[in-house]
């Protein structure tokens, strides 16, 4: 239980420290150190879990099982790599005059706080705290998105705040309903908001209330997942914030929101004994895939484009979890992991590319491999990984999802095919000339941090060809927990 | 005794609904803030009653907290914002008031028969209030949709949050304290951030009319 | 293969090798008579060949080895073709080596080489001739194949030997499909052997000439070989016609003696064939080169219809 | 040494290729090391691969292996059976020639670093080999897509040119869509067992409906790779764009992977066969063949011409497969085996001669820097090696005896003549039409090849600088000579190949031709019986050679060998020059006239007032404007509609979520009722 405390305490403390000295030249290093500490703690925790199964902590307020432990590890890892990426990136931004001292402080401290919120949301056992953490994560990211204080960034942040605020309010109503349903069945003295208790009693929960609750929860957390048609905040927030934030938004926040949805789905399925929740998720998933794919075609801003691709991928995952079954759930979890890795890697590469070209408009970024082959190849390979080219992990999960969809929901398969095909055409036709061809971009002042890019891509590659035993073990167990 | 308290809670509930409609119909920002404060008061009172009935002392705290936060602190902040930003003028709505009212009534009916079966099952002191809470949520949602200025939107958001708290206390006789605290904290931080934002939006766009915030779009 | 078989094969081949110019001469002579001319006499082709062989061969300075090699190869192809087609007997060793399809392939080989040779020197006429030749070829070849297949369907075999045997020694049956095939074959025959109305072997008119344009750059022994080869081609086609449409009289034994018996019948058939050609050539006018595709497409379609009718009737029967 | 050893050997070769690729990355710019050492090494490895596969084919039987990578529930399953062995042999033999050629081909000046090319090249080889030995859906797809990916990078090796980038993009897009279709096909085949091994798929018995779905998906997926009509659109763009050895690999070998997949799914994994599948393949194939050859005839770029002729050959292969499917659906396995033999033989033949032809274009490209037929000519004088080797490829690919192309056409026609045995009269009607189109295609192929060879190598040089053209260097010569030798021996010893094909057809339709071909001796090719049909390429060759030598000797003895050289006769024209020759366009003109309906042509005729009159015809593919453009426009239209979702008004966004909420709530009440 000590590593758990560390996981939560480190970023919290870090945010305080960085709020004081984030503007100092080595603030960015301190940031890295804190993230690394969090990462180490998460490694300890995972080893603990590997050794001795699920654990409770702080009289059952915290709960680590195989469904969230790998998400904790993933979050900590990407939090760490992103902090590494932020070092040169934010420095260059500062020299471009986009960041003042105060903004630097705000940025670093909020970055740590954001990590804290997400880790809290992942580890807590209390549905109420889960809601609080999600809301807090929204607030921190709002500040991070608006950190440049440009009109565009403010507009994006405002929309993000209002839409996600309203959405998350629905989630609160859902939580209240959940609580209401729980009160009837759970003995007094037992906390009816703890997921573990709810899960134990889920078959008793009143189906009518649960159905209603799930609708509110799905709309609420679904807004943060970026499910169409609740997705409108997502492209703006991704495109206008600093690139590291786009990376963690796509890589982590969406995952955590989806994780919340899954937790709720488990309870709802238990209460309803039918596939209601699953069908809703399938519908949202397919809609998001189509909307994401077709929106890709019209993009000119590179970060905006990749945020739409995040919508598409979130749709695929939601579809998979909605479909349920051991294979689909397994694939969904795998997709969560690999998408987080590859998408953040792509955003790292994109960030450097945009800095080199001095713009995010794709027509003006050309021939990257001429100037810096690493960034160019990073972008190219990352894009191919995102587009589901083997042997990267996304292909593995899409393989499982599509093949099992072909039998469970044959009518959905052509929709997915259409979505994937359109997405491929749209993204690749834009990335190709950015990487290849004659160039117009200029080299950077500071060496780009490409370790994160290739680390992530390497992991994604590994997961496509070989999934470690314990990870597989987790996935299988988690898939079993999700059931459906 | 409990009979009376239940009637009281139902009274507060209907009062809340009334206020929601009033907010929908209200054009002046400053009045919106006042209505919001009244909502806060109602919620606080209702919470107090529930606390008295169910003898949960943590509900007294939450009642007090609501009182401080939503009757004094936040309205005060809002008033200062209005003064500083000088946005005392009338708010034109995107849909005209009568039709909004009509839609509002439809929503109320809808949410009532949505909540009906649940209220039947409810074990809490006043089962009927859930429908009203739901209606209030939807009404404030609609208000957010139909207002084209930043501040009214925020107020709509806050009133929605009020309705939620009311739902929590009346329908489930109170969430656990830690959750209540968390919610309150989030709301407080949120309002501060919004306050800061509005100044920046003001200086970037020379107005708080969010119809200016339409540059991020697909051409 | 035994020695006797080998000998009879040699004999048959020699016969067609020697008869070929005669056939050509016969047709030319007939045409002359039909046009009230005296004509050069049917042995003129032999004299021409002799003369050409004696002459020096003049070759363009830019000509490549391919140009020199082509005449021999074409001559070889035609010789082999006339050896494969059962003229006198069906029981010849080479008959196994190639069936109808291979025969068509053989003609195609010759055609491609003569076209390449014509393109080699790189004069306007050469390339023009090559283009026209290939153009005629790509329609005539499949048509010929179709004609052969019509009989193959009847005989359930593509080997000419079996076709002859089924025609002659099975119970006599009338095959309507063969009528279409016959008409198609005549058209192909005219086109492939550069006869009127497709081509006129006795003029050098830029607008119309095909075969003459191909061999324009050749002279001396090479020209002789090519002329002989085209004579052989004429003979081979005639004997294909014989095999397909009037195969009676072809011996099925491989002995020299039986071949000798079959020889006069064969010559007789050739004479008749010559008359037919001469008549057609006399009574039809040379058509414009643009019309040739239509002419050949008709042939092609006739052959296809032939096959179709066979199947249709076959269906009715069964 | 048993079969498992040969599988080991195959794996070794694959890993050697991967290793060579990595070495290439390490020696990124060491040109001589990469070109002169690594590439030949890869070629030798290819030869080893061929030998290993040959060995296992001779031994017969299959050997399986499981690698401990891949998905946890689904490790990589490998299997080396007759089918894969046969294709591996083709791969190895072709690769040897191509790699040796590449050693001499790649110059320092090429845009991409030689090491990178080496990496992509050898990963391409490895992925093709993996496709052939993979025995579960996941590994197959991984190898399949890696193949597409590595070849894409090779195609875009010279990515400075936007045209090449566009070609590469189109290629990868269609390949990817096809791959997704294949994925769905495997999804059907696994029949919801969650077990993706081919072994399991073989055991499933699908309902005719689902089987047909799987089959159609497979046709789409593999057809997209093979360039079957109307998915061919990428092929004439991508193949010419690549460096010539890569074009050779793609046209010669990679297309065959699609054929392999089609055979694997259609005959091996799908146990039931339905007659209309065969008809579908047959019709598709014939249409493709005719289309390809007609378009080849009007091309004026030598590599495009060859690419279209590849489309034609793929069409023939599909037709043969369709025929086999048709026969086997009626249980006529012997004839099905005949058709399959034709198909497989043509796979081998085309792989070799098409690679040879593309390599020759590579040498021509290097010597002249010219791909446009209109600017070439007369090269046989300056590069005799290339010319004569090309001639062999040309003769083979125009299906002339006694070369390899003829034999497959011969076998195909033979199997067509058996169609009269089919029980359905409607199917009998196919014979004349199908046979006619096959014959027409073959004849046109001859036309095309004469155009190719005649315009490139014969005649007068159409440009001044062609006179400096140099012949191929040693590596190139060796590479091309190897392929030429294989082509000739394929043509002369067909029975040997048929004995190799025999076990394959036994796997697919458990029938073979080896017995008959053995019965009538080595030199005579007799699919069924001597009475029915026979062809002896060696007799044939000897016959021609004998006749030639006879003629030669007679002429020399009886007459003389006097030869005078002089200028060519210019038709009475005083200054005959090379401009007077027929151009490539001119050569294609008759075909354009006859098949006008096939093309959409833009003619530019000179006007009387033109100072320098110029006649130009641009021939375009009707499918591009007729099929692809509408699809693109439809997609853009939909995306414009979807774009309206993001109008920037926060109120509208809130309205969306409001409506969604209300909708779902109504849904809940509805469910409850």
Dist CA D664 CA D642 (whole Å)? 21
ipTM over 0.85: yes
Nearest to A249 by CA among A304, A294, A321: A304
Closest-CA distance of chain D to residue A105, Å: 30
**D642 token code pair:** 């979807």
Closest approach of chain A CAs to the CA of D201, in angstroms? 13
Domain containing B104: what range?
2-210
At A56, phi and psi to the nearest 5? -105, 160
Binary contact (D543, C56; C-beta < 8 A): no
Mean pLDDT of B77-93: 80
Q: Which of A151, A156, A169 sits opposite B205 (nearest CB)?
A: A151
Whether B203 has its CB under 8 Å from any CB of chain A: the answer is no
Helix (H) or strand (E) holding A63, with range, is strand A62-64
B:89-148 residues touching chain A, CB 8 A cutoff: 114, 117-118, 121-124, 130, 134, 137, 141, 144
- Cα A39 to Cα A75: distance, rounded to the nearest angstrom: 8
Name which of A318-327, A384-393, B91-100, C172-181 the model is least confident about.
B91-100
Asked whether the predicted pLDDT for residue D110 surpasses 70, the reply is: no
Contacts of D580 in chain C (CB under 8 A): 123-124
Tens-place pLDDT, residues D558-573:
888 888 888 887 667 7
| C124-155 vs C220-245: helix crossing angle, rounded to 10 | 20
Taking the CA of residue B96 and the nearest CA in chain A, the distance in Å comes to 23
Residue B193: name the closest of A4, A110, D529, A348 by CA. A110
Cα separation of A125 and B49, whole Å? 30
Q: Mark yes or no for CB contact C72/D428 under 8 Å.
A: no
The alpha-carbon gap from D172 to the nearest alpha carbon of chain B, in Å, equals 28
Query: Contact at 8 Å (CB) between D181 and D221?
Result: yes
Contact B213 D647 (CB under 8 A): no
* pLDDT value of residue D566: 84
Structure-token pair, residue A454: 């290739």
**Which pair of tokens denotes residue D218?**
């497979």
Q: Given CB atoms, is D660 within the 8 Å cutoff of chain A?
A: yes
**Nearest Cα residue in chain B from A128:** B179
**Listed range (A177-181, B123-127, C3-7, C134-138) with the worst mean pLDDT:** B123-127
Kindly identify which residue of chain A lies nearest to residue B181, measuring between CA atoms: A132
Question: Per residue in C91-109, pLDDT tens?
Answer: 888 888 888 899 999 999 9
Rounded to the nearest angstrom, the minimum Cα separation between B15 and chain D is 24
Q: How far is CA C221 from the centre of its chain?
A: 22
- Cis peptide upstream of residue A64 (ω within 30 degrees of 0): no
- CA dihedral in degrees (D213, D214, D215, D220; nearest 10)? 90
Give chain B positions within 8 Å (CB) of D643: 218-219
Scanning A226-301, the segments in alpha helix (DSSP H) are 233-240, 243-248, 254-272, 276-296
pLDDT higher than 90, residue B180? no
Q: Which residue has the tokens 């315009």?
A: D455
Sequence-separated (6 or more) residues with CB below 8 Å from residue A231: A288, A291, A292, A311
- Tell me whether chains C and A touch (3+ CB pairs under 8 A): no
- The helix/strand/coil state of D207 is coil
The token pair at D539 is: 């007799």
In eight-state DSSP terms, residue D106 is -
Q: Are A167 and A219 in contact (CB under 8 A)?
A: yes
- pLDDT for B201: 83
pLDDT of D192 over the 90 cut: no
* Contact between residue D208 and residue D275 where contact means Cβ atoms under 8 Å apart: no
Domain total in chain C? 1
A contact chains, 3+ CB pairs < 8 A: B, D
Nearest to D647 among B141, B148, B217 (CB): B217
Residue D416 lies in a domain: yes
pLDDT tens digits, D29-81: 888 888 889 999 999 999 999 999 999 998 877 888 898 888 888 889 999 99
Relative to beta strand C57-60, strand D563-566 is parallel
Contact at CB, A139 and B193, closer than 8 angstroms:
yes
Buried-exposed string D525-562: b where 16+ CB fall within 10 A, e elsewhere: bbbbebebbbbbbbbbbbbbebbbebbbeebeeebeee
Confidence of residue D648 (pLDDT cuts 50, 70, 90): confident
Q: Write the burial class of residue A409 (CB in 10 Å: 0-12 exposed, 13-18 middle, 19+ buried).
A: middle
A297 interfacial to chain B (CB closer than 8 Å): no
Q: Establish whether the linkage from the previous residue to D402 is cis, with ω within 30° of 0.
A: yes
- What pLDDT sits at residue C316? 46
> CA-nearest residue of chain D to A157?
D650
pLDDT of residue C162: 87
Instruction: Give the pLDDT score at D16.
Output: 95
**Tens of pLDDT along D203-233?**
888 899 999 999 999 999 999 999 998 899 9
Those residues whose C-beta lies under 8 Å from the C-beta of residue D600, and which sit 6 or more positions away, are: D619, D620, D621, D622, D625
Tokens of D609: 């007032």
Taking alpha carbons only, the member of A232, A207, A223, A308 closest to residue A260 is A223
Q: Which domain holds residue D403?
A: 331-558
Residue D375 included in any domain: yes
Q: What is the pLDDT of residue C203?
A: 76
Each residue's pLDDT expressed in tens, for chain A with a length of 484 residues: 578 889 999 999 999 999 998 888 888 899 999 999 999 999 999 888 888 888 888 888 899 988 888 899 999 999 999 999 999 899 888 888 888 889 999 999 999 999 999 999 999 999 999 999 999 999 999 999 999 988 899 999 999 999 999 999 999 999 999 998 888 888 777 888 899 999 988 888 888 889 999 999 999 999 999 998 999 999 999 999 999 999 999 989 999 999 999 999 999 999 988 889 999 999 999 999 999 999 998 889 999 999 999 999 999 999 999 998 889 999 999 999 999 999 999 999 999 888 888 888 888 888 888 888 888 899 999 999 999 988 899 999 999 999 888 888 889 998 999 999 999 999 999 999 998 888 777 776 677 778 899 999 999 999 988 988 888 888 998 999 888 6
Neighbours of A231 (CB within 10 A): 30
Q: What is the DSSP string of A303-369?
A: HHHHHHHHHHHHHHHHHHHHH-SHHHHHHHHHHHHHHHHHHHHHHHHHHHHHHHHT--BGGG---HH
Chain D positions in Cβ-Cβ contact with residue A406 (cut-off 8 Å): 184, 187-188
Distances (CA, A) of D309 to A220, C228, D222, D452: 59, 35, 18, 11
Distance CA A183, CA A205 (A): 9
Q: In chain C, which among 273-312 make CB contacts under 8 A with chain D? A: 293, 300, 303-304, 307-308, 311
pLDDT above 60: residue C317: no
Q: Which distant-in-sequence residues (6+ apart) come within 8 Å of B112 by Cβ? A: B131, B135
Cα D409 → chain centroid: 16
| Contact B114/D at CB under 8 A | yes
Instruction: Tell me if C287 sits within 8 A of C124, measured CB to CB.
Output: no
* Chain center to CA of A12: 20
> Does D657 contact chain A (CB < 8 Å)?
yes
Quick one: how far is CA D221 from the chain centroid?
Answer: 15
Residue C318, pLDDT score: 40
Calculate mean pLDDT across residues D241-258. Answer: 93
DSSP state of A479: H
Q: How confident is the model at residue D480 (pLDDT cuts 50, 70, 90)?
A: very high
Task: For D573-604, write each residue's pLDDT tens digit.
Answer: 766 677 778 788 888 888 888 888 888 878 78
- Rounded CA separation D70/D134 (Å): 12
Q: HEC string of chain C? A: CCHHHHHHHHHHHHHHHHHHHHHHHHHHHHHHHHCCCCCCCCCHHHHHHHHHHHCCEEEECCCCHHHHHHHHHHHHHHHHHHHHCCCCECCCHHHHHCCHHHHHHHHHHHHHHHHHHHHHHCCHHHHHHHHHHHHHHHHHHHHHHHHHHHHHHHHCCCCHHHHHHHHHHCCCCCCHHHHHHHHHHHHHHHHHCCCCCCCCCCCCCCCCCCHHHHCCCCCHHHHHHHHHHHHHHHHHHHHHHHHHHCCCCCECCCCHHHHHHHHHHHHHHHHHHHHHHHHHHHHCCCCCHHHHHHHHHHHHHHHHHHHHHHHHHHHHHC
**Which residues of chain D make contact with B114, given a CB cutoff of 8 A?**
665, 668-669
Task: Look at residues C221, C70, C241 and name the one whose alpha carbon lies nearest to residue D544.
Answer: C70
Q: Residue B91's pLDDT band (boundaries 50, 70, 90)?
A: low
Q: Which residue has the tokens 């190949």?
A: D497
What predicted TM-score, i.e. pTM, was given to this entire model?
Answer: 0.93
Please tell me whether residue B1 adopts helix, strand or coil conformation. Answer: coil
Nearest CB to D543; choose among C97, C137, C308: C97
Q: Which of D378, D447, D576 sits opposite C134 (nearest CB)?
A: D447
Write out the two tokens for D662. Answer: 């209300």
Q: Is the dihedral of CA A210, A216, A219, A225 positive or negative?
A: negative
B55 domain residue, yes or no: yes
The answer to whether the Cβ–Cβ distance between B201 and A158 falls below 8 Å is yes
Domain holding C225, by residue range, is: 3-317
Residue D22 in contact with residue D120, Cβ under 8 Å? no
Q: How many domains does chain B have?
A: 1
Give one word for C36, left, alpha or beta, with left for phi > 0 and alpha for psi -120 to 50. left
Confidence at residue D360, expressed as pLDDT on a 0 to 100 scale:
95
Q: How far apart are CA A40 and CA A9, in angstroms?
A: 13
Residue with tokens 């914030």: A241
Task: Identify from D638, D640, D654, D661 which residue to disrupt to test chain B contact, counting B C-beta atoms within 10 A and taking the largest count.
Answer: D654
Q: For residue D564, give the nearest of C56, C146, C206 by CB distance.
A: C56
Res D431: pLDDT: 74
D181/A396 Cβ within 8 A: no
d(C-alpha A178, C-alpha D61), whole Å = 62
Which of D10, D287, D251, D9 minimizes the C-alpha distance to D131?
D10
Rounded distance between C-alpha atoms, residue D271 and residue D215, angstroms: 11
A157-161, B32-36, D433-437, D611-615: least confidently modelled range: D611-615
Strands D63-71 and D74-80: antiparallel
Chain C residue numbers touching D570 (CB-CB < 8 A) = 123-124
**C66-92 mean pLDDT:** 90
In a domain, D463, yes or no: yes
B164/A295 Cβ within 8 A: no
Q: What value, to the nearest 5°, has the Cα angle with vertex C123 and ends C118 and C129?
A: 45
pLDDT given for residue A370 in this prediction: 82
- CA-based nearest distance B76→chain A, Å: 21
Alpha-carbon separation of residue B138 from A216, B10, B27, B159 (angstroms)? 12, 19, 19, 11
Query: CA D343 to CA D513: how far, in whole Å?
Result: 13
Output the CA–CA distances (angstroms, integers) from residue D566 to C60, C64, C116, D378, in the order listed: 5, 13, 20, 18
């Amino acid at each position: 239980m000590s590593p758990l405390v560390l996981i939560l305490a480190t970023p919290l403390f870090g945010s305080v420290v960085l709020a004081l000295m984030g503007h100092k030249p080595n603030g960015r290093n301190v940031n890295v150190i804190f993230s690394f500490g969090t990462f180490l703690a998460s490694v300890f925790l995972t080893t603990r879990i590997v050794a001795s199964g699920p654990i409770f902590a702080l009289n059952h307020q915290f709960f680590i099982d195989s469904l969230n432990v790998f998400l904790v590890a993933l979050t900590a890892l990407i939090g760490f790599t992103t902090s590494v990426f932020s070092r040169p990136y934010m420095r260059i931004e500062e020299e471009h005059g986009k960041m003042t001292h105060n903004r630097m402080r705000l940025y670093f401290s909020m970055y740590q706080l954001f990590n804290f919120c997400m880790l809290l949301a992942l580890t807590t056992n209390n549905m109420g705290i889960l809601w609080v953490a999600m809301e807090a994560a929204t607030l921190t990211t709002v500040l991070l998105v608006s950190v440049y204080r440009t009109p565009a960034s403010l507009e994006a942040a405002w929309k993000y705040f209002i839409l996600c605020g309203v959405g998350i309010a629905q989630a609160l109503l859902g939580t209240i309903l959940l609580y209401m349903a729980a009160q009837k069945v759970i003995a007094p003295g037992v906390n009816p908001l703890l997921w573990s208790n709810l899960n134990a009693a889920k078959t008793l929960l009143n189906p009518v209330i649960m159905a209603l609750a799930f609708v509110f929860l799905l709309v609420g957390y679904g807004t943060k997942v970026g499910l169409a048609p609740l997705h409108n905040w997502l492209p703006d927030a991704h495109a206008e914030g600093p690139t590291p934030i786009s990376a963690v938004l796509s890589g982590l926040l969406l995952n955590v929101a989806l994780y919340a949805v899954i937790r709720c789905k488990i309870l709802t399925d238990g209460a309803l004994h039918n596939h209601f929740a699953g069908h809703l998720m399938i519908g949202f998933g397919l809609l998001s895939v189509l909307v994401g794919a077709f929106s890709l075609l019209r993009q000119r801003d590179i970060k905006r484009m990749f945020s739409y691709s995040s919508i598409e991928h979130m749709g695929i995952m939601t579809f998979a979890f909605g479909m349920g079954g051991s294979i689909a759930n397994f694939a969904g979890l795998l997709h969560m992991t690999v998408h987080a890795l590859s998408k953040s890697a792509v955003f790292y590469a994109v960030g450097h590319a945009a800095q080199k070209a001095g713009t995010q408009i794709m027509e003006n970024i050309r021939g990257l491999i001429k100037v810096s082959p690493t960034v160019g190849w990073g972008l190219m390979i990352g894009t191919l990984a995102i587009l589901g080219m083997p042997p990267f992990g996304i292909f593995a999960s899409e393989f499982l999802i599509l093949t099992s969809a072909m039998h469970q929901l044959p009518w959905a398969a052509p929709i997915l095919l259409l979505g994937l095909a359109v997405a491929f055409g749209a993204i690749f036709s834009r990335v190709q000339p950015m990487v290849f061809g004659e160039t117009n971009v200029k080299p950077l002042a500071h060496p780009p941090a490409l370790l994160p890019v290739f680390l992530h891509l390497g992991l994604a590659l590994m997961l496509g060809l070989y999934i470690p035993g314990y990870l597989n073990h987790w996935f299988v167990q988690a898939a079993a927990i999700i059931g459906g | 005794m409990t009979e009376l308290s239940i009637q009281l809670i139902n009274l507060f509930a209907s009062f809340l609904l009334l206020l929601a409609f009033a907010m929908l119909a209200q054009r002046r920002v400053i009045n919106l803030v006042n209505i919001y404060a009244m909502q806060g008061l109602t919620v606080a009172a209702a919470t107090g009653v529930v606390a008295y009935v169910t003898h949960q002392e943590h509900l007294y705290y939450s009642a007090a907290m609501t009182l401080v936060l939503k009757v004094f602190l936040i309205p005060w902040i809002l008033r200062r914002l209005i003064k500083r930003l000088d946005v005392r003028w009338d708010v034109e709505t995107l849909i005209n008031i009568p039709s909004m009212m009509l839609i509002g009534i439809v929503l109320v009916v809808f949410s009532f028969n949505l909540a009906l079966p649940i209220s039947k099952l409810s074990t809490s002191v006043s089962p009927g209030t859930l429908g009203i809470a739901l209606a209030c949520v939807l009404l404030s949602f609609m208000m957010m949709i139909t207002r084209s200025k930043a501040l009214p939107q925020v107020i709509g958001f806050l009133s929605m949050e009020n309705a939620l708290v009311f739902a929590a206390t009346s329908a489930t006789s109170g969430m656990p304290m830690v959750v209540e605290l968390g919610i309150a904290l989030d709301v407080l931080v949120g309002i501060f951030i919004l306050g800061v934002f509005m100044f920046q939006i003001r200086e970037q766009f020379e107005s708080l009319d969010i119809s200016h915030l339409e540059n991020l779009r697909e051409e | 293969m035994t020695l006797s078989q080998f000998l009879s094969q040699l004999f048959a081949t020699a016969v067609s090798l020697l008869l070929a110019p005669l056939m050509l001469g016969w047709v030319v002579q007939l045409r002359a008579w039909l046009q009230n001319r005296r004509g050069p006499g049917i042995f003129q082709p032999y004299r021409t060949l002799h003369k050409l062989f004696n002459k020096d061969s003049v070759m363009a300075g830019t000509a490549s080895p391919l140009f020199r090699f082509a005449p021999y190869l074409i001559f070889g192809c035609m010789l082999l073709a006339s050896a494969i087609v059962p003229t006198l007997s069906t029981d010849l060793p080479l008959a196994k080596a190639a069936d109808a399809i291979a025969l068509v392939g053989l003609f195609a080989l010759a055609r491609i080489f003569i076209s390449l040779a014509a393109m080699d020197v790189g004069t306007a006429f050469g390339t023009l001739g090559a283009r026209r030749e290939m153009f005629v070829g790509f329609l005539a070849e499949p048509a010929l194949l179709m004609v052969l297949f019509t009989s193959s369907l009847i005989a359930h075999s593509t080997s000419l030997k079996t076709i002859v045997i089924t025609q002659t020694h099975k119970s006599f049956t009338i095959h309507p499909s063969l009528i279409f095939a016959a008409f198609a074959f005549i058209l192909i025959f005219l086109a492939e052997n550069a006869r009127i109305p497709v081509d006129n072997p006795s003029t050098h008119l830029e607008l119309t000439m095909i075969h003459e344009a191909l061999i324009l750059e050749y002279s001396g022994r090479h020209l002789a070989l090519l002329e002989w080869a085209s004579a052989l081609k004429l003979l081979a086609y005639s004997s294909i016609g014989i095999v397909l449409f009037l195969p009676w009289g072809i011996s099925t034994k491989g002995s020299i003696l039986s071949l000798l018996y079959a020889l006069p019948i064969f010559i007789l058939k050739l004479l008749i064939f010559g008359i037919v050609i001469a008549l057609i050539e006399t009574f039809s006018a040379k058509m414009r080169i643009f019309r040739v595709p239509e002419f050949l497409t008709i042939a092609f379609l006739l052959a296809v219809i032939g096959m179709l009718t066979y199947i249709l009737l076959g269906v009715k029967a069964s | 040494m048993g079969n498992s050893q040969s599988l080991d050997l195959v794996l070794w070769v694959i890993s050697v290729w991967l290793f060579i690729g990595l070495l290439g990355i390490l020696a990124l710019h060491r040109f001589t090391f990469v070109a002169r050492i690594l590439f030949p090494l890869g070629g030798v490895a290819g030869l080893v691969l061929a030998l290993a596969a040959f060995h296992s084919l001779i031994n017969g039987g299959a050997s399986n292996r499981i690698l401990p990578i891949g998905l946890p529930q689904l490790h990589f399953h490998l299997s080396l059976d007759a089918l894969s062995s046969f294709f591996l042999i083709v791969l190895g033999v072709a690769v040897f020639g191509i790699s040796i050629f590449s050693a001499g081909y790649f110059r320092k000046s090429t845009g991409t670093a030689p090491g990178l090319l080496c990496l992509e090249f050898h990963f391409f080889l490895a992925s093709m080999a993996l496709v052939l030995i993979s025995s579960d859906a996941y590994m197959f797809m991984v190898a399949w897509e890696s193949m597409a990916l590595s070849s894409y990078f090779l195609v875009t090796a010279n990515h400075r040119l936007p045209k090449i980038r566009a070609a590469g993009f189109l290629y990868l897009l269609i390949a990817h869509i096809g791959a997704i279709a294949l994925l769905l096909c495997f999804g059907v085949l696994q029949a919801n067992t969650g077990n993706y091994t081919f072994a399991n798929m073989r055991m499933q018995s699908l309902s005719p409906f689902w089987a047909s779905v799987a089959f159609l998906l497979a046709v789409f997926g593999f057809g997209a790779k093979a360039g079957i009509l109307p998915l061919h659109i990428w092929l004439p763009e991508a193949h010419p764009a690549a460096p010539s050895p890569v074009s050779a690999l793609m046209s010669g070998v990679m297309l065959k992977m699609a054929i392999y997949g089609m055979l694997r799914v259609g005959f091996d994994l799908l146990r039931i066969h339905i007659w209309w599948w065969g008809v579908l393949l047959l019709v598709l194939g014939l249409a493709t063949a005719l289309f390809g050859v007609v378009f080849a005839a009007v091309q004026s770029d030598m590599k495009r011409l060859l690419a279209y002729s590849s489309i034609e050959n793929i069409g023939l292969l599909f037709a043969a497969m369709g025929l086999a499917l048709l026969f086997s659906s009626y249980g006529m396995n012997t004839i099905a085996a005949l058709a399959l033999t034709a198909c497989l033989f043509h796979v081998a033949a085309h792989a070799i001669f098409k690679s040879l032809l593309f390599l020759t274009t590579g040498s021509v490209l290097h010597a002249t820097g010219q791909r446009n037929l209109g600017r070439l000519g007369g090269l046989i004088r300056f590069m005799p090696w290339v010319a004569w080797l090309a001639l062999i490829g040309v003769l083979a690919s125009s299906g002339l005896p006694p070369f390899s192309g003829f034999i497959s056409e011969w076998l195909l026609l033979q199997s067509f003549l058996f169609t009269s045995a089919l029980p359905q009269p409607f199917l009998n009607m196919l014979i004349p039409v199908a046979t006619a189109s096959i014959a027409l295609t073959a004849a046109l192929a001859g036309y095309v090849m004469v155009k190719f060879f005649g315009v490139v190598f014969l005649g007068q040089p159409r440009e001044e600088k062609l006179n400096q053209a140099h012949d191929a260097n040693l590596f190139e010569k060796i590479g091309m000579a190897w392929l030429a030798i294989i082509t000739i021996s394929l043509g002369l010893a067909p029975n040997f190949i048929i004995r190799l094909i025999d076990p394959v057809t036994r796997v697919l339709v458990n029938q073979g031709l080896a017995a008959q071909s053995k019965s009538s001796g080595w030199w005579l090719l007799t699919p069924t019986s001597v009475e029915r049909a026979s062809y002896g390429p060696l007799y044939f060759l000897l016959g021609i050679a004998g006749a030639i030598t006879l003629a030669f000797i007679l002429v020399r003895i009886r007459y003389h060998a006097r030869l005078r050289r002089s200028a060519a006769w210019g038709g009475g024209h005083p200054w005959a020059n090379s401009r007077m020759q027929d151009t490539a366009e001119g050569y294609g003109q008759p075909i354009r006239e006859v098949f006008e309906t096939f093309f959409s042509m833009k003619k530019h005729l000179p006007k009387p007032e033109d100072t320098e009159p110029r006649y130009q015809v641009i021939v375009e593919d009707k499918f591009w404007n007729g099929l692809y453009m509408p699809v693109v426009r439809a997609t853009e239209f939909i995306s414009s509609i979807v774009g309206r979702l993001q109008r920037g008004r926060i109120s509208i966004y809130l309205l969306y979520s409001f409506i969604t909420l209300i909708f779902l709530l109504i849904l809940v009440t509805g469910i409850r009722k």
